[in-house]
Amino acid sequence: MVAITYIEHNGTRHTVDVVVGKTVMEGARDNGIPGIEADCGGAFACSTCHVYVDPAWVDLLPAKEAMEEDMLDFAYEPDPVRSRLTCQVKVTDGLKGLVVQMPEKQI
């Protein structure tokens, strides 16, 4: 298990343990974290699991693939550096302590 902190747009913090091998989106969904809707269930067909990665973690995550970059164009106020789709970030032991913040809304 890896502790990940999800921060709602209003600043409410949720730190939960997520099973290694799941995605950051699944960790939010499985723990009832508000702000990550995941409408497509991780099928990579929407942008409703969009988050802003804490700056300290940006360079520690695997690079975005082209399809993720394209899908982020549909997200609410994407940041070219910090925005990620949580369905595309697999939880590994190296992500212990990851912090992500949800946008004001998901579209």
- Percent of the chain at pLDDT > 90 equals 95
The range of the structural domain enclosing residue 92 comes to: 2-101
74-90 mean pLDDT: 97
Is residue 44 predicted with pLDDT exceeding 90?
A: no
Burial of 21 (0-12, 13-18, 19+ CB in 10 A): exposed
Domain count, the chain: 1
Asked whether residue 17 is domain-assigned, the answer is: yes
CATH number of the domain enclosing 21: 3.10.20.30
| Nearest one of 77, 19, 20, 66 to 44, comparing CA atoms | 66
Beta bridge partners of 5: 15, 99
Asked whether residue 83 is domain-assigned, the answer is: yes
With the C-alpha atoms ordered 18, 43, 90, 6, is the resulting torsion angle positive or negative?
negative
Beta strands 83-85; 13-18: pairing state = unpaired
